[in-house]
Amino acid sequence: MFVDTARIYIKAGNGGKGAISFRREKGIANGGPNGGNGGKGGDVIFRVSKDMNNLVSFKYSTHFKAENGEQGQKNNKNGKSGQDLIISVPQGTIVRDFETKKIIADLFYLDKDYVLLKGGEGGKGNAFFKSPTRQAPHFSQTGEVTKEHSVILELKTLADVGLIGFPNVGKSTLLSVVSNAKPKIANYHFTTLTPNLGVVKYYEHSFVVADIPGLIEGASEGQGLGHEFLKHIERTRMLVHVIDISSTDGRDPYNDYLVINEELKKFNKTLAGLPQIIVLNKIDRIRDYFVVDEFKHRINKKHKVVCVSAICRDNIQELIKTIWQELEKLPAQVPIDVEEFGFDKKDKTGIEIKKVSNDTYEISGGFIENISRGIVVNDYESLSYFWKRLKNDGVIDMLREKGVKDGDTIRIGKVDFEFVE
């Protein structure tokens, strides 16, 4: 089965909770706090695998979670970090945010780690909260809790050259003689049902050729296999347009040329505008070279034309050379520009104040969430630490400006506090 799109769910690990613990030693009645910090949650990382060529594995497993960080421990021991989760994908896979459909990553390079989601930070242990006035804090911070995100993976194959043409003209045969690929070849239409990639060697150089299912007139309206596979050659730098010059199937070669280009235009103007080399294949089947001359005359030097017989391997080296010389002139492929994605841009400064009723105000935002992690409502020290942070960072002043008076209610998440300074 060939799968080129998949929807999956990814989640980075939560941060571990900070520990609450106190030193206990012989002869020391009340040792100081020694609760260690929680460990960081694992990241979700995408990595390009050379050995994959489609997304079929994502048909069966769709949920991916990195490990959570462990809790902090006594004796100031920090919790272990959660393990990162590495997801292998074929080269050229793009990732879209399911909600916005925006491209958030182009997994283009081998040997590069693409960190899509960052693990949650661990919470601080109670040792962290010790201060001259707070000798024995009985609270710690919980770890950051991460969200699950849904993303769409789409394979946009990376190849330098795309082979296009009607069915049965010999595209796959050509790929099999120029490269290491072993595609299926047969004397009927639509032998090739999914894209094939092959690496072509030319002296010390190499380039990648993609063979896709044949196109027919009306492909843009879904005739034959339609346009579905053209996306796999969208990133190519040039096209090799294969035409059966011997008219095995009774069509006129020049008309084939026109029809395919028309279909390309309907699909994507950029693709239609790529440089094209015309390969007149099955030259072994023609007796009179007049058809070749006529074809060349009609396309009027718009493209380079190379005559070959894929099956007899005639003129194949010349073709490879022509393709390489053309490729050398073209700019290298580059990854798609992606929108910076907001998944792991943690807001640690946001403060929002909303009046919800006459005497009730709700405060929220990244800053508030961050400092309210793990406040123990019924622990006096924990609360006073929290209020102190609110005061030092100007939140209390902001509340005053909004008209908050003593005795009003301040709501943070699900908890209501009475405002008294």
Ligand X SMILES: Nc1nc2c(ncn2[C@@H]2O[C@H](COP(=O)(O)OP(=O)(O)OP(=O)(O)O)[C@@H](O)[C@H]2O)c(=O)[nH]1
- 146 in contact with ligand X (CB under 6 A): no
35 sits near ligand X (criterion: CB under 6 A) = no
Give the single-character DSSP code of 244: E
What value does the CA radius of gyration of the chain take, rounded to a whole number of Å?
Answer: 32
Please report, as residue ranges, which positions from 290 to 329 form the binding site for Mg ion (by CB under 5 A): none
Q: Is 364 in the site for Mg ion (CB under 5 A)?
A: no
Q: Which stretch binds ligand X (CB under 6 A): 18-26, 190-198, 333-341, 347-355?
A: 190-198
Please report, for residues 53, 110, 152, 229, the alpha-carbon distance to residue 3 in angstroms, rounded to integers and kept in the order given: 9, 21, 12, 11
364 phi-psi bin (left φ>0, alpha ψ -120 to 50, beta other) = beta
* Residue of the chain from 16, 41, 167, 195 that contacts ligand X (CB under 6 A): 167
| 3 state SS of 321 | helix
Q: What string marks each residue from 192 to 211 as x (binds Mg ion by CB under 5 A) or -? A: x-------------------
Binding residue count for ligand X, defined by CB under 6 A: 23
Q: Which stretch binds Mg ion (CB under 5 A): 106-114, 187-195, 300-308, 313-321?
A: 187-195
User: In this structure, what token pair is assigned to residue 109?
Assistant: 């390079």
What is the footprint of ligand X within residues 274-333 (CB under 6 A)? 281-282, 284-285, 309-311
CA 188 to chain centre: 37
Q: Using the rule CB under 6 A, which residue among 35, 170, 198, 253 binds ligand X? A: 170
Using the contact rule CB under 6 A, the part of the chain among 67-75, 98-106, 164-172, 322-330 near ligand X is 164-172
Smallest distance from the beta carbon of 239 to ligand X, in angstroms?
A: 14
What is the spatial order of strands in the sheet that 161-164 belongs to?
196-202, 205-211, 161-164, 238-244, 276-281, 304-307
3-state secondary structure of 74: coil
Give yes or no for residue 168 binding Mg ion (CB under 5 A): no
DSSP H or E segment with residue 272: helix 269-272
In whole angstroms, the minimum distance from the beta carbon of 92 to ligand X comes to 22
Region of residue 403 (phi > 0: left; psi between -120 and 50: alpha; otherwise: beta): left
Positions in 81-110 near Mg ion (CB under 5 A): none
* 68 contacts Mg ion (rule: CB under 5 A): no
Query: Beta strand pairing status for 103-107 and 93-97?
Result: antiparallel
Sheet architecture: strand order including 415-418: 352-357, 360-364, 409-412, 415-418
What are the DSSP calls for 378-407, one per residue?
T-HHHHHHHHHHHHHTTHHHHHHHTT--TT
Q: Which is nearer to ligand X, 42 or 213 (CB)?
A: 213
Q: Which range binds ligand X by CB under 6 A, 59-67, 97-105, 161-169, 329-337?
A: 161-169
Using CB under 5 A as the binding rule, whether residue 281 contacts Mg ion is answered as no
Should residue 186 be labelled a site residue for ligand X when binding is judged by CB under 6 A? yes
Query: Which residues of this protein are in contact with ligand X, per CB under 6 A?
Result: 167-173, 185-187, 189-192, 213-214, 281-282, 284-285, 309-311
Query: Which residues of this protein are in contact with Mg ion, per CB under 5 A?
Result: 172, 191-192
